[in-house]
Chains A and B, each alone.
Chain A
Amino acid sequence: MSAPLLSVRGLDKKFGGLAAVQKVDMDLRPGVLTALVGPNGAGKTTLFNLITGNIEADSGEVLLDGASIRGRSPHHIARMGVARSFQDLRLFGRMTVRENVLAAIEHTAWLWQPGGRSARRAREAAVDQALERTGLTAQAGARAMDLAYAERKFLSVARILATGSRIWLLDEPASGLDVNSRARFVSLVRQAAAEGVTICLIEHNLDIVTELADRIAFLDRGAKLAEGEPQEILRDPELIGIYFGERRT
Chain B
Amino acid sequence: MNRKDLGLGALLVVIGAITAFLNPLFLSTVNLLNMANLIGLFGIFSIGQGLIIITAGIDLSVGAMLALLGVVFVDLLVNYELFWPFAVLVVLVAGLLLGALHGVLVTRLGLQPFVVTLCGLLIYRGAARYYTQDGTMGFGYAGDLDTLTWLASGRSFGIPHPFLALLVVALVVGVLLHRSVFGRYLYAVGRNEEAARHSGIDTRAVVVGAYLLGGLLAGLSTVLLVFYTSSVSPSSFGNFYELYAIAAAVLGGCSLRGGEGSVLGIVLGTVLLQILQNLVNILGIPSSLNFAVMGSVILLGVLADQQFGRRKAALAGA
Contact = CB atoms under 8 A, between A and B. Distances in A.
A90 B194 contact: yes
B206 to A, nearest CB: 9
B197 A109 contact: no
Given A75-B197, A103-B199, A107-B200, A95 B182 contact: no
B202 interface: yes
A159 interface: yes
A111 B182 contact: yes
A111 B180 contact: yes
B188 interface: yes
In the A-B complex, the 6 residue pairs with the smallest Cβ-Cβ separation, listed nearest first, are A107-B200, A78-B200, A90-B195, A104-B199, A79-B200, A92-B191
Given A75-B202, A75-B203, A104-B200, A91 B195 contact: yes
B181 interface: yes
A163 B199 CA distance: 9
A90 B180 contact: no
Interface string A109-137: 11111000000000000000000000000
A74 interface: yes
Given A91-B192, A111-B181, A111-B182, A159 B187 contact: no
Contacts of B109: none
A84 interface: yes
Contact of B192 (A90, A99, A106): A90
Give the interface residue-count category, chain B: 20 to 34
Interface string B167-183: 00000000010001110
B316 A146 contact: yes
Contacts of A75: 197-203
A52 B200 CA distance: 11
A141 interface: no
Interface string B200-213: 11111000000000
A11 B202 CA distance: 25
B193 to A, nearest CB: 9
A94 B260 CA distance: 9
Interface of A: 52, 73-75, 78-79, 83-84, 86, 90-95, 99, 103-104, 106-107, 109-113, 146, 159, 163
Nearest to B196: A103
A119 to B, nearest CB: 12
Interface of B: 176, 180-182, 184, 187-188, 191-192, 194-204, 259-260, 316
Given A52-B198, A75-B202, A104-B199, A92 B180 contact: no
25 contacts: A74-B197, A74-B198, A75-B202, A75-B203, A78-B199, A83-B198, A86-B198, A90-B194, A91-B195, A92-B187, A92-B188, A92-B191, A93-B192, A94-B260, A99-B184, A103-B196, A103-B199, A106-B181, A109-B181, A110-B180, A111-B181, A112-B180, A146-B316, A159-B199, A163-B200
A84 B200 contact: no
A95 to B, nearest CB: 6
Contacts of A91: 192, 195
A99 B196 CA distance: 12
Contacts of A90: 192, 194-195, 198
A235 to B, nearest CB: 36
A79 B187 CA distance: 20
B191 A95 contact: yes
A112 B188 CA distance: 16
A111 B195 CA distance: 20
A112 B187 CA distance: 16
A168 to B, nearest CB: 12
A94 B184 CA distance: 13
A200 B188 CA distance: 27
A187 to B, nearest CB: 25
Given A86-B198, A95-B188, 6 more contacts: A74-B198, A75-B200, A90-B195, A91-B195, A92-B259, A106-B184
A209 B117 CA distance: 50
Contacts of A146: 316
Contacts of A52: 198
Nearest to A91: B195
A92 B203 CA distance: 14
A107 B200 CA distance: 6
Contacts of B196: 92, 103
For A99, A107, A112, the residue with the greatest tally of chain B CB atoms inside 10 Å of its CB is A107
A99 B195 CA distance: 13
A128 to B, nearest CB: 18
Given A90-B192, A92-B191, A94-B260, A103 B184 contact: yes
Contacts of B259: 92, 94
Nearest to B313: A146
A107 B195 contact: no
B182 A110 contact: yes
Instruction: Point out which of B182, B197, B260 has the most chain A C-beta atoms below 10 A from its C-beta.
Output: B197
